[in-house]
Amino acid sequence: MEIEEEAVIVNSSRLKSVVWNDFDRVKKGDTFVAICRHCKRKLSGSSTSGTSHLRNHLIRCRRRSNHDISQLLTRGKKKEGPLAISNFSFDQEQRNGDAVSVVRTKFEQGHTRDGLFNNGIVNFDNRRSRLDLARMIILHGYPLSMVEHIGFRIFVRNLQPLFDIATFDGVEADCREIYLMERQKVYEELDKLPGKISLSADTWTANGDAEYLCLTAHYIDDSWHLKKKILNFLTTDPSQTEDMLSEVIMTSLRNWDIDRKLFSVTFDNYSTYDKIVSRIREQLCQHRFLYCDGQLFDTRCAANVIKLMVQDTLETASQIIHKVRESIRYVRSSQATQEKFTEMAQIAGVDSRKCLNLDNSFYWNSTYIMVETALEYKDAFPLLQEQDSRYAMCPTVTEWDRISAIASFLKLFVEVSNVFAGSKYPTANTYFPDICDIHLQLIEWCQNSDDFVNSLALKLKSRFDEYWKKCSLALAIAAILDPRFKMQLVKYYYPQIYGDSAPDCINIVSDCMKALYNGHAIYSPLAPNGQAEASQVGGVNNDRLTGFDKFIYETSVSNNIKSDLDNYLEEKLFPRKDDFNILNWWKVHTPRYPILSMMARNILGMPMSKASLEYVFNTGNKALEPYRSSLRSDTLQALMCAQDWMRDEFEDSKASSSTVTLALCYDAK
């Protein structure tokens, strides 16, 4: 480019910014212009304009080689300081502001180089950015194919020309690498646990006939926090036998080295799982890994048994519910019909502001809402039938009575399901009262004089009894370990449930409680997993004294010395408060009840229900997104497991601090 005669080139050696190595600063009159030495483009060279626009141009300049862009970003820091860091905290109200901030998160951990921030200066690291991209895909569940989308590639290329965007195969490999790194963290955490681990199993489906088995570990860590981690997400074959599936689960436990730490397993309430659980229990009992020969080993999901009873209810009452559904559909079919129905409702004296709505077949609680609302307008429907000959689906008086009974069933199931799914990690002690209330209500419904209601109640109670037979002991013992209730809650409910047989049933619970306590008191120090601390001399484990531990325990029993359990049960109940934290209570009282607290850690960590709020009312099974069902099995497992672990890690880090640390990037002028 030719410079006009009146223009003067300013000596750039006096300019300290690194960008002037690639620009000529030209003065024409009172105006300064910066001319790129590579593409000859003119930009503002005024001192008031700063240099950010010049640096951005150099990053994107097509005629400039890229090899020295990193130098552009790292030199001249005393003058410009391209990215200075400012960490600060802000409250919840400020979080909703419009400020653009970069949150310093767990993405900074596990990278190959120093870190994103190095003394306030950015160093571009292609490898690190690839892992950041993979973490983003895992964490948010984005499809791996997004790296090949043209819009995404254009966005990244304009944002950082130096970034070598991964292909589908490349990002798939990166995700598996992250999975292996995260898996090692989980493995080490499980290995150091002071207590036992309980396992839950979920069945997932995908497009077609694909089925998956999701195995999740539940435990209470050394800080007395209830946690869960997905261990495996496995492709299964419907033709596999119970023996094959049980071996798949045992292989998973051995790979994680937690077979010796297993306390219980939780499956759905289907008889097909009975043989699987029995075979796993037999293998663990052979090695004496289970307390009391696995008496509490087999538990079933409380939310699932409710879901099955709901299905029985809706199936049995399908014809009556169909009439209600069609009646609502007819009322909503036209504006004139709605106005006529409103008029009939006023005549019938209906005092309700609820709107009649159809249910959603995918969520059973919506059927309850539909039926409950229809009952409030039940007196208006017969009047509409008298005025409108086209309306022919009105339920009879008897059917309305049965609809009322069905609504009572569903109401109880909705309320209990909300309790079960209301907390992310509910401890096992919370289930006993609600399950007992269901039991008592079923007994009452079975005495109903209406044959329809009586028959349905008997069907529901038969299904419930199968669940109660497997889980009542675990439910009762978990409730006893709640210092607000202890044995008193069992003594309150059992006479109502069992009548004259209540004392014998209470004794069964008491005997099981003592047996579990004795198992923790005697056998824990001798167990192969060494969860209890062995006697130590000079810092070295001395296994010869484990026999002494047993001797001391047996001597104390023979001398009628009160145990932890005796002292705990004899002391008065802790005040019942809504904000009571049972894990914190046991954490504080561990020195007072050293053996019983070990038992409480194992019992309270059992997953008595494994359905979250998003699935508890869903009528179908958990299903994979279509794009994930086409992935390789090892890649799918890597994505599902790593996503669970990373989300849990982010939530833990968020909960551990009342403030959020931000890193703001800005140009220091």
Q: Give the up-direction half-sphere exposure of residue 524: CA atoms within 13 A in the CB hemisphere.
A: 22
Q: Give the up-direction half-sphere exposure of residue 367: CA atoms within 13 A in the CB hemisphere.
A: 27
- Which residues have C-beta within 8 Å of that of residue 476, sequence separation ≥ 6? 432, 490, 509
Give the largest CA-CA distance in the chain.
Answer: 114
Please choose, from the candidates 234, 268, 215, the residue with its C-alpha nearest in 3D space to the C-alpha of residue 616: 268
- Which residues have C-beta within 8 Å of that of residue 416, sequence separation ≥ 6? 306, 434, 435, 437, 438
**pLDDT score for 62:** 61
> Alpha-carbon distance 290 to 168, whole Å?
45
CA distances to 9, 64, 435 from 37, rounded to whole Å, are 13, 9, 79
Other CB atoms within a 10 A radius of the CB of residue 80 amount to 20
The one-character DSSP state at 83 is: S
Q: Three-state DSSP class for 153?
A: helix
- Which residues have C-beta within 8 Å of that of residue 629, sequence separation ≥ 6? 206, 207, 208, 210, 636
> Alpha-carbon distance 574 to 476, whole Å?
18
Place of tokens 């001192």: 47
> Alpha-carbon distance 592 to 567, whole Å?
10
Give how far the C-alpha of residue 160 lies from the chain's centroid of Cα atoms, to the nearest Å: 35
> Alpha-carbon distance 85 to 120, whole Å?
6
SS3 content of the chain, % helix, strand, coil (to 5): 55, 10, 35
Please choose, from the candidates 126, 148, 151, the residue with its C-alpha nearest in 3D space to the C-alpha of residue 137: 148
* Predicted TM-score of the model (pTM): 0.77
The one-character DSSP state at 144 is: G
For the packed helices 126-140 and 633-655, what is the interaxial angle rounded to 10 degrees?
A: 90
> Alpha-carbon distance 57 to 37, whole Å?
12
Beta carbons of 390 and 336 less than 8 angstroms apart: no
**pLDDT score for 390:** 93
> Alpha-carbon distance 296 to 10, whole Å?
85
Using a 10 angstrom Cβ sphere, with 0-12 exposed, 13-18 middle and 19 or more buried, the burial of residue 85 is middle
Among positive and negative, which fits the CA dihedral 616, 617, 623, 624? negative
> Alpha-carbon distance 197 to 260, whole Å?
9
**Segments of the chain with pLDDT less than 70:** 1-8, 10-16, 62-122, 208, 523-560, 652-669
The phi, psi pair for 235, rounded to 5°, reads -75, 130
Using a 10 angstrom Cβ sphere, with 0-12 exposed, 13-18 middle and 19 or more buried, the burial of residue 664 is middle
**pLDDT score for 636:** 95
- Which residues have C-beta within 8 Å of that of residue 277, sequence separation ≥ 6? 265, 267, 297, 298
**pLDDT score for 469:** 96
Please state the length of the chain: 669
Helical residues (DSSP H) of 44-147, grouped into ranges? 52-60, 69-74, 126-140
Please choose, from the candidates 290, 291, 242, 293, the residue with its C-alpha nearest in 3D space to the C-alpha of residue 267: 242
For residue 131, the one-letter residue type is L
Which domains are present in the chain? 18-63 (no CATH), 176-301+610-650 (3.30.420), 423-523+576-609 (no CATH)
> Alpha-carbon distance 551 to 148, whole Å?
68
Beta carbons of 310 and 481 less than 8 angstroms apart: no
Beta carbons of 201 and 215 less than 8 angstroms apart: yes
Beta carbons of 370 and 324 less than 8 angstroms apart: yes
Q: Three-state DSSP class for 233?
A: strand
- Which pairs from 153-160 meet CB under 8 Å and 24+ separation? 158/60, 160/124, 160/129
For the packed helices 594-604 and 582-589, what is the interaxial angle rounded to 10 degrees?
A: 160
Segment (H or E) for 174: helix 168-191
> Alpha-carbon distance 144 to 175, whole Å?
9
**pLDDT score for 664:** 32
For the packed helices 318-331 and 335-347, what is the interaxial angle rounded to 10 degrees?
A: 110
Q: What digits encode the pLDDT tens for the residues 142-161?
A: 999 999 999 999 999 998 88
